[in-house]
Amino acid sequence: MNDSLQLTYKINVPISAEELSTVFKASGIKRPVDDLPRLQRMLDHADITITAWVGEKLAGVARAITDYNYCCYLSDLAVDKTYQKMGIGKEMVRLLQDQIGDEVTLILLASPIAMEYYPRIGFERIDNGYMIARNR
Q: Which domain CATH number covers 12?
A: 3.40.630.30
Residue 132 lies in a domain: no
Entry pTM: 0.89
| Separation of alpha carbons 78 and 116, rounded Å | 15
Between residues 124 and 11, the one the model is more confident about: 11
Alpha carbon of 53 to those of 19, 64, 104, 111: distances in Å? Answer: 12, 18, 27, 24
Query: pLDDT for 73-124, tens place per residue?
Result: 999 999 999 999 999 999 999 999 999 999 999 999 887 777 888 888 888 8
Q: Which residues of 72-111 are buried (b: 16+ CB within 10 A; e: fewer)?
A: bebbbbbbbeebbebebbebbbebbeebbeeebebebeee
Residue 97 lies in a domain: yes
Residue 23 lies in a domain: yes
Residue 131 lies in a domain: no
Q: Which of 77, 91, 81, 76 is nearest to 121 (CA)?
A: 91
Residue 126 lies in a domain: no
Helix (H) or strand (E) holding 44: helix 36-44
| Separation of alpha carbons 61 and 38, rounded Å | 16
| Separation of alpha carbons 88 and 97, rounded Å | 14
Residue 104 lies in a domain: yes
Query: pLDDT for 20-69, tens place per residue?
Result: 999 999 998 889 999 999 999 999 999 999 999 999 999 999 999 999 99
What's the domain range around 84? 7-120
Give me the number of domains the chain comprises.
Answer: 1
